[in-house]
Amino acid sequence: MKKLSLIFLAVSVIVFASCKDKKQKEAEKDFNYASVEIPAFNADSAFAYVKNQCDFGPRVPESKAHKACGDYLVSFFKQYADTVIEQNFTSKLYNGKEVKGRNIIVSFNLASTDRALFSAHWDSRAWADNDADEKNHKTPIIGANDGASGVGVLMEIARCLKAKPTSVGVDIVLFDVEDQGCPEWDKTDIEDQSDWCLGSQYWAKNLHIPFYQAKYGILLDMVGYSNPLFVKESQSMYYAPSIMNKVWQIAKDKGYGNMFSDEQIGGVMDDHIWVNKDAKIPMIDIVQHDPTGSFFPYWHTVKDDITCISKNTLKAVGDVCLVAIYSAS
Question: What is the pLDDT tens value at each position of the chain, 329 positions in all?
Answer: 666 643 344 444 444 444 455 544 444 455 566 567 899 999 999 999 999 999 999 999 999 999 999 999 999 999 999 999 999 999 999 999 999 999 999 999 999 999 999 999 999 999 999 999 999 999 999 999 999 999 999 999 999 999 999 999 999 999 999 999 999 999 888 888 999 999 999 999 999 999 999 999 999 999 999 989 999 999 999 999 999 999 999 999 999 999 999 999 888 999 999 999 999 999 999 999 866 677 999 999 999 999 999 999 999 999 999 999 998 75
pTM of the model: 0.92
Domains and CATH numbers, the chain: 2-327 (3.40.630.10)
Of 277, 261, 94, 102, nearest in space to 189 by CA? 94
65 C-beta neighbours (distance < 10 Å), count: 18
Q: What residues contact residue 253 under an 8 Å CB cut-off, 6+ apart?
A: none
Task: Say what the pLDDT of residue 6 is.
Answer: 39
Of 48, 212, 194, nearest in space to 116 by CA? 212
- Measured CA to CA, the distance from residue 2 to residue 193 in angstroms comes to 9
pLDDT digits (tens, 9 = 90+) for 256-293: 999 999 999 888 999 999 999 999 999 999 999 866 67
* DSSP letters for 128-152: -TT-SSGGGTTSPP--IIIIIHHHH
- Measured CA to CA, the distance from residue 178 to residue 66 in angstroms comes to 13
Q: Report which residue type is found at 134.
A: E
Q: Is 36 exposed, middle or buried (0-12, 13-18, 19+ CB in 10 A)?
A: middle
